[in-house]
């Protein structure tokens, strides 16, 4: 049975703001997902497994019933948590199969990869399998995806998504596999990194895909805590791996720290116009207001640093033409529109 996001249960805990949901394959899911990539390494800090499970439980209680990006032990911890719930089917786990080395994806190899994920997540089915293939010159990704499609038709996988595929390959895959086989593509998208606006949005429209976006808060830089602060040292201090990645993008590919401060100031003014929303709320709302975006995946250092209450304030408002014009007045001075040429299309930075 597909996991269902219960709007009635959740409406009671979002402080008057009805949560937003959307259809993804057989599921109805919330538009904010919890990203678990920070459980993959102690570089983000670490908490005890009981504290991590408490964090997961709190997210579910607040209506965040979809978890994504299960690296390392995250799959195991999530599987143990979900299997302990009275209604495990109301919680969705989106995991990945990433192929980095040249391989011949036989049916047996594909099934082995899927079985490993089912075992780790204590499930007889993968809810959303997100597929990443490193080498575009090796067209066997089409063979692998056909096997995944067969497994979906057999009920082993509920839905298939892509991860960090560019517009050209996404269009190719959806055209070959046919309507409805691929439901999503997970890519980076934020006010800073607007690459999905250049081609990917058209592919989503053509094939009825939804983007699951990450990097929407640029590792936490799109937040009030960085307003009015000096530029951090990339190689010193307590920056997380995500922050080092996105700081590099902000000050090298996108613009300067001074221009970034101007952007934060504008987002702060917009937040004040909408009842004191946080900078993070406004930055997330900007992404969600794009019709081809299904959900934003917000990373959480469960047991250490979580913001589920603040994230709920993403709901209940929309950006106005005035808001968007103010944001654009800063973006037009940046190199944001050129990132697709300097870095490449969606996912190029990983290839």
Q: CA–CA separation, 263 vs 90, rounded Å?
A: 38
Q: How many CB atoms lie within 10 A of CB 315?
A: 22
Indicate whether 263 belongs to any domain. yes
231: helix, coil or strand?
A: coil
Q: CA–CA separation, 312 vs 31, rounded Å?
A: 11
| Contact indicator for 211, 187 with CB cutoff of 8 Å | yes
- Fill in the DSSP letter of residue 273: H
* pLDDT for the residue numbered 61: 84
Indicate whether 297 belongs to any domain. yes
Indicate whether 87 belongs to any domain. yes
> Which domain, by its residues, includes 204?
7-350
- The number of CA neighbours under 13 Å toward the Cβ of 65 is 26
Indicate whether 2 belongs to any domain. no
User: pLDDT per residue over 189-212, tens digit each?
Assistant: 999 999 999 999 999 999 999 999
Q: CA–CA separation, 222 vs 190, rounded Å?
A: 9
Q: If you average pLDDT over every residue of the chain, what do you get?
A: 88
Indicate whether 74 belongs to any domain. yes
The enclosing domain of 60 has a CATH number of: 3.20.20.100
Phi, psi for residue 348 in degrees, rounded to 5: -60, -30
Indicate whether 108 belongs to any domain. yes
Enumerate the H helices of the chain as residue ranges: 7-11, 49-61, 74-83, 107-120, 140-153, 167-177, 200-207, 241-248, 257-273, 279-288, 308-311, 321-331, 339-342
| Contact indicator for 313, 277 with CB cutoff of 8 Å | yes
Indicate whether 1 belongs to any domain. no
Residue 220 tokens, joined? 């936490």
* Overall domain count for the chain: 1
User: pLDDT per residue over 1-48, tens digit each?
Assistant: 333 333 333 333 344 455 799 999 999 999 999 888 656 444 334 556
- What residues are paired with 92 via a beta bridge? 66
pTM of the model: 0.89
Phi, psi for residue 289 in degrees, rounded to 5: -70, -10
* pLDDT for the residue numbered 71: 65
What is the b/e burial string over 31-52, where b = at least 16 CB atoms within 10 angstroms of the residue's CB? bbbbbbbbbeeeebeebebeeb
Indicate whether 103 belongs to any domain. yes
User: pLDDT per residue over 296-350, tens digit each?
Assistant: 998 776 644 455 567 789 999 999 999 999 999 999 999 999 999 999 999 999 8
Among 64, 120, 125, 119, smallest CA distance to 91 is for 64
């Amino acid at each position: 049975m597909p996991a269902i996001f219960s709007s009635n249960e959740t409406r009671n805990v979002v402080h008057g703001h009805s949560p937003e949901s959307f259809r993804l394959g057989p599921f109805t899911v919330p538009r904010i997902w919890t990203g678990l990539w920070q459980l993959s390494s102690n570089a983000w800090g670490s908490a005890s497994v009981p504290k991590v499970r408490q964090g997961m439980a709190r997210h579910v209680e607040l209506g965040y019933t979809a978890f994504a990006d299960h690296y390392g032990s995250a799959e195991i911890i999530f599987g143990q948590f979900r299997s302990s719930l009275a209604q495990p089917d109301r919680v969705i786990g989106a995991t990945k199969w990433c192929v980095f080395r040249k391989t011949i994806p036989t049916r047996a190899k594909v099934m082995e990869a899927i079985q490993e994920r089912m075992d780790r997540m204590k499930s007889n089915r993968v809810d959303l399998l997100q597929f990443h293939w490193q080498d575009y010159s090796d067209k066997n990704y089409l063979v692998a995806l056909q096997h995944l499609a067969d497994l979906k038709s057999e009920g082993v996988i509920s839905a298939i998504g892509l991860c960090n595929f560019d517009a050209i390959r996404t269009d190719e895959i959806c055209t070959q596999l046919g309507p409805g086989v691929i439901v999503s593509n997970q890519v980076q998208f934020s006010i800073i990194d607007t690459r999905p606006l250049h081609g990917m949005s058209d592919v989503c429209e053509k094939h009825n895909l939804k983007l699951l976006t990450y990097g929407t808060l640029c590792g936490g830089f799109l937040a009030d805590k960085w307003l009015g602060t000096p530029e951090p040292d990339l190689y010193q201090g307590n920056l997380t791996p995500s922050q080092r990645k996105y700081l590099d993008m902000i000050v090298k590919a996108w613009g300067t720290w001074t221009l970034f401060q101007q952007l934060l100031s504008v987002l702060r003014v917009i937040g004040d116009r909408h009842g004191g929303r946080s900078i993070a709320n406004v930055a997330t709302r900007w992404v969600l207001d794009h019709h081809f975006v299904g959900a934003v995946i917000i990373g959480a250092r469960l047991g250490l640093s979580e913001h589920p209450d603040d994230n709920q304030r993403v709901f209940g408002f929309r950006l106005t033409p005035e808001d968007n014009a103010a944001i654009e007045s800063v973006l037009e001075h940046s190199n944001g529109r050129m990132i697709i040429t300097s870095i490449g299309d969606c996912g190029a930075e990983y290839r």
